[in-house]
Amino acid sequence: MRLLLPAAMILLAAWPAEAQRGGPHDGTYVGHRVQECRRSGRSGAQLLTAEVHGATMTIPGFPGDRPMEASIDAGGAVRMPRLGTFGEGTGQIFEGPNNARRFTGSHPGRNDCQLTYDLLRRSPGRR
């Protein structure tokens, strides 16, 4: 027992400070990414899980693509890079009822197409 506490202190000190820092939006967000094209009427939805740590949101790319790294400012505004044929996107993380965090965002596309996100932060106790 005497060795456990000093060992834990050493491990904590060795852990990079950046990894320990978090933000108010940190967590796992689960929901849907929906592609809608008004002209052709084509649409599709994909269930996805995104991770937020500090000022970065990691969102899965399309199948075969690398994950997308989006930046988050202090107010919860999200800027997303291009994804496939869709342009740079924007979004917002906000606090809803019962302190639930929600992310909504979109990417503009060609021919009246757009990609939208609607994700809820999953509570740490749920799997």
- Quick check: 27 and 54 in contact, CB under 8 A? no
The whole-number pLDDT of residue 80 equals: 97
Please compute the mean of the pLDDT values over residues 110-125 and round it to a whole number: 87
The whole-number pLDDT of residue 84 equals: 87
Q: What pLDDT band is residue 117 in, cutting at 50, 70 and 90?
A: very high
CATH topology of domain 22-122: Lipocalin (2.40.128)
Domain ranges in the chain are: 22-122
Distance of CA 106 to the CA centre of its chain: 13
Record the pTM: 0.76
What is the identity of the amino acid at 95? Answer: E
pLDDT digits (tens, 9 = 90+) for 56-114: 999 999 888 999 999 999 899 999 999 988 999 999 999 877 778 999 999 999 888 99
pLDDT digits (tens, 9 = 90+) for 1-49: 555 555 555 544 544 444 455 788 999 999 999 999 987 877 899 999 9
35 CB-side CA count, 13 A:
14
- Quick check: 109 and 83 in contact, CB under 8 A? no
d(CA 51, CA 18) in angstroms, rounded, equals: 16
Ramachandran sector of residue 84 (left: φ over 0; alpha: ψ -120 to 50; beta: rest): left
**CA dihedral of residues 16, 18, 22, 26 (deg, nearest 10):** -100
Token pair 């930046």: residue? 71
